[in-house]
Amino acid sequence: MKRITFVIPCRSNLPYLQQAVGSIEEHYGDKHDVVILDDASDDNSWDWITKYSEDRDNIITYRNEGPDRVGHTVLYDVGFDLAKTEVVSILHSDMVVTPNYVQNMLKQLKPMSVVSATRIEPPLHPPGPEKYVKNFGMEVDEFSEQKKKFLNFVLEKEDENKDRTTKGIFAPWMMYKEDFVSIGGHDLLFAPMELEDSDIFNRFHLSEYELIQSRDAFVYHMTCRGSRFKDGIEIEKEIPLPDGTIWYKPKDSEEYTILRQNKFREWWRKWHCDVLHDEFMMPIVPKRYDTGFVLFNATPQLISILEPWCDTLYVDCEHQYIHSYIQSENQQSLFDISESVKPYTSSYDNNIIVRMDGKKLTNELFTEFIKKLPFIIEDTGETGSFDYQSFRITINSLEEIDMIKPYYKNVF
């Protein structure tokens, strides 16, 4: 079996980390390397990591001293740098690998591909065809009690899905280190937030990497136990599903909620679309165009809503509103917002210009037009002007923006 490197970031979730690392040692001994990266943990994680790695040549360690965390995907990049093998598998610190994980992932791996495993999860996120939702415990002690039952379930599903694959990508994934380096790593624009994952998945797709899910390589995933539910699972409500099972909707942490609001605005600024994928988690990535909105009857609320969805927003409101908005957003964004909002009397120099009346912009039009604009432009396929609902669209050029490399490096 080819030797690989597991890359495992962690943050103040020692019991889950011990379980994750323990599962690798249990099933593979020292046949593979493990890079453990501590993200300014405030529990005993680093002490344990230091002691655990002392007499183990296959363990590589790294610590972000903090005080602020940098996020798991920043540490993925550090882990890839530290890896000595040609194949690397990222693993969340709240995941448990299974006895045939490595071999069943490797048999699907090839250059210019990314292979994802199949997750088995407790019912804390909505179900989907890319995973199994089955509760073998939401906490470490609960999982320990059901471990034998879990492994029997895995053996059953390995046999049922032998050599089967589908198309999609999510953690945990495996790829050649060389391929990861060639794409430029993660985009720090979203750190620390899981949107970094969605961003690099889009860029893998645009780079024409083959995105493969192995249906007979399994992990158990406790779900978000280093960030979103770091301080424990608090069930917000129980939602019955059509098959008679229950989905337990957890309450997001306050830290996660605040980060999510801000980082989604950064996502829209970069991609001009929502995070899109099919039912198997295969990315759907529209073409990215240089776009300007000309907004009449502008209000501060509409400026805040529309600015992230275009490159330049031209508005007919007082300069004090423009200045105030730019000043406020520049304190929260890694983009330079200074040129993103301009008076409507400015020159319109974007490739795509969309004129709209703020009084006619409803929630339905925002959803059906603004959010789908890249697809509408692509479907049009030619330069010129035309009306769409209450909008006037002028396409000066269909030149696309290259989104493959980390975008923040291009705008600063």
What per-residue confidence (pLDDT) applies to 226?
A: 60
Q: Tens digits of per-residue pLDDT, 270-319?
A: 999 999 999 999 999 999 999 999 999 999 999 999 999 999 999 998 88
pLDDT at 177 over 90: yes
Full-model pTM: 0.92
Phi-psi region of 385 (alpha: psi -120 to 50; beta: other; left: phi over 0): beta
What domains are defined for the chain? 5-271 (3.90.550.10), 291-411 (no CATH)
Q: Tens digits of per-residue pLDDT, 91-102?
A: 999 999 999 999
Distance CA 253, CA 243 (A): 29
What per-residue confidence (pLDDT) applies to 233?
A: 66
What per-residue confidence (pLDDT) applies to 244?
A: 74
Which of 73, 278, 302, 281 minimizes the C-alpha distance to 192?
73
What per-residue confidence (pLDDT) applies to 355?
A: 98
Distance CA 405, CA 391 (A): 32
Distance CA 361, CA 292 (A): 16
Q: Tens digits of per-residue pLDDT, 69-92?
A: 888 888 999 999 999 999 999 999
What per-residue confidence (pLDDT) applies to 319?
A: 85
Q: What mean pLDDT do residues 385-389 have?
A: 93
Q: Report residue 268's pLDDT band, with 50, 70 and 90 as the boundaries.
A: very high
What per-residue confidence (pLDDT) applies to 224?
A: 64
